[in-house]
Structure 1
Amino acid sequence: MDNVSVIRVFSLSGINETMNYRIAIFSLTLLYYFVILFVNIALILIIILDENLHEPMYVLLCSFCFNGLYGTAGFYPKFLFDLLSSSHVISYEACLLQAFVMYSFACCEMSTLAVMAYDRYLAICRPLHYHSFMTRRRVCQMVCFSWITPFCMFSISIILTSTLKLCGAKIQKLFCVNWIIFQLACPDNDTLASSIISHATTFIYVSHGFFIVWTYMHLVMKSVRSKDDRVKFMQTCVPHLTSLVTFLIVIVFDLMYMRFGSTDLPQSLQNLIAIEFLLIPPVMNPLIYGFKLTKIRHRILGLVSVDRK
């Protein structure tokens, strides 16, 4: 193709600031990544191996944890390798793949949170119809929706990005982001199709947000009227609401800074802002659900007591 850039390698300049402390950062990052792997895999195995947890809410939680593993796998191994390397580069193809993983991970997180909100809405506001509607097939459809939608949207976006002719190869971040690659495009590129996909994606996930707000308006009104519903709301909706608020804060803050933020901030602070959505939710989500949901907490305590004996 004539309009494909000859640039085959990008430099990740965001990591240069960390090289004076790379051994300490490598050790802490490796330990933290192991924690992410442990808490998510442990929760997934608990749900899979315990038949009492083969319910829609826990199946969706399992998908939630899988997404956490998927997203962090797109960043931490490469970052750890870069900390031990003298050259911080990434191939053109690997950069596009990493950008795809980062965006699809974030949007899959949002889709899963929307599906989980709908599950809680049915459980509390429509309890008599819950089991007839949330069949195994329907749950599978909802899980597929939360994964396939972002995969399709960003497959198209990355394909369009790959056709751009680039006039730069320096990415001032720790990892590749589609928006940064898009900014490196030469002025003579036709970016109309990419802009349409970007606006369509924004519309879809803003709609997800409005849908979640709608479900929680009904959940709160229902919980206020009934003590039993209020208890159920506190046990099952508070973890979801905590995950949602945390995710929205870190992702919106990152997006706003990436588009409108000042580059005068220290690079280390810019790096921290950029990776917040890869630091906080992947660890916080399984811990919150593990300790707040009664069935999972009892299962964990049961395993701990067995080990002590």
Structure 2
Amino acid sequence: MSLSTKNVSVTNFVLMGLVEIESFGYVCAVLALALFSFTLFLTSMIVYVTWTEKSLHEPMYILICVLVINVMFGNASYFPKLAIDLFSGCSTISYTGCLCQSFCLQLYSWVEMYTFTVMAYDRYLAVGHPLRYHTLMTNGTAKKISLAIYVFNVVIIIVSVLLTLRLTFCGVNINNVFCEIVSIQPLACNDITINVLYGTSLALFNFISCLLVIMYCYIRTVIICLKLSAESSKKAMHTLMTHILAFSIYIVLVLFIVFRYSLSTGSVLTKVDIIIPLIGTGIATSVNPLIYGIRTKALREKIVCNLYKMVGKLK
């Protein structure tokens, strides 16, 4: 299919990124499946030990579970289709499938941001108000906040999808390996001003408000940690640095992808234009389970213990 200036009734889009990497598609497909399988396994272990171990029934671990489950959700909306398309040589996606994938990836992205925000606030409460912490942040509160995050983001993203549904398209070539609303908007025949204004204002509001809360909580927590005893400070800072590391990687990769779109020139893709965002997206949707599984001592010990039990049963 070629890009046309004629108004057409689009039933399928062409993912030009898949066409560009077709020559080494099998390698990318194997890597995608390996990364997906590893993330699924590690996420399952984190959720399992948190669910079964009563000592981990705390707000922090509940929020970590929400974070890694969301990572798996983002992974599942991206990697399986990518691998199947690369193995089969298919480079198209249906209009409905495109909107569904756009919805899922956008939901993953914003739920991730809001969950990091709540985790930063949780750590601030734990360090800054230790005597009131179990009153201010209970397991029930953590669950309700997590549910509210999903409901809020589902609603605002549905509006974005509905605005996209009113568009008709003059082209079918998407310069990416997956569907995003910002990727298909330039293909529209009609005016997309409302879509762009809604998407941009929403992104700026979400990003800036969450970032300000996170920075305030982190700074306040660090200041309080400096006043604690050496042992208490070390423990609190280790947990805080784990959150900061995971959040920093997420922010860097998000900004990288945004700048990639902003600096993109022309409609012709190169392998570099595809491979770098492909790697970046893969890291963004996989790194959190690894970070929390390794750096969180309680989780690491319980995961290792359960793995030993599994190996023992196999023997």
Same-fold call, TM > 0.5?
A: yes
Give the whole-Å Cα distance in 1 for the aligned partners of 2:22 and 2:126: 50
Does 1:69 find its partner at 2:40?
no
Does 1:219 find its partner at 2:205?
no
Q: Could you say what secondary structure the match of 1:36 adopts?
A: helix
Give the whole-Å Cα distance in 2 for the aligned partners of 1:93 and 1:224: 53
Match of 2:251 in 1: 248
Q: Could you say what secondary structure the match of 2:131 adopts?
A: helix
Q: CA deviation at 1:193?
A: 5.4
Greater CA drift, 45-54 or 194-203: 194-203
Q: Structure 2 matches for 1:41-190, cutoff 5 A?
A: 41-186=44-189, 188-189=190-191
Alpha carbons of structure 1 residues 108 and 84: separation in structure 2 relative to 1, 3 Å: same
Give the whole-Å Cα distance in 2 for the aligned partners of 1:265 and 1:119: 46
Q: CA deviation at 1:146?
A: 2.5
Q: Could you say what secondary structure the match of 1:84 adopts?
A: helix
Structure 2 counterpart of 1:96, one-letter code: L
Give the whole-Å Cα distance in 1 for the aligned partners of 2:263 and 2:60: 38
Match of 1:8 in 2: 11
Contact 1:160 1:194 in 2 (8 A): no
Question: Unmatched 5+ residue regions in structure 2?
Answer: 1-6
Greater CA drift, 129-138 or 223-232: 223-232
Contact 2:117 2:213 in 1 (8 A): yes
Q: CA deviation at 1:257?
A: 1.2
Q: Deviations over 1:195-245 (max 9, x none)?
A: 134313321221101110010110111111112442232331111100000
Question: Unmatched 5+ residue regions in structure 1?
Answer: none
Q: Deviations over 1:129-170 (max 9, x none)?
A: 100111233112211132222221111001101111211111
Match of 1:271 in 2: 274
Q: Could you say what secondary structure the match of 2:146 adopts?
A: helix
Greater CA drift, 270-279 or 103-112: 270-279
Alpha carbons of structure 1 residues 190 and 278: separation in structure 2 relative to 1, 3 Å: closer
Give the whole-Å Cα distance in 2 for the aligned partners of 1:45 and 1:282: 20
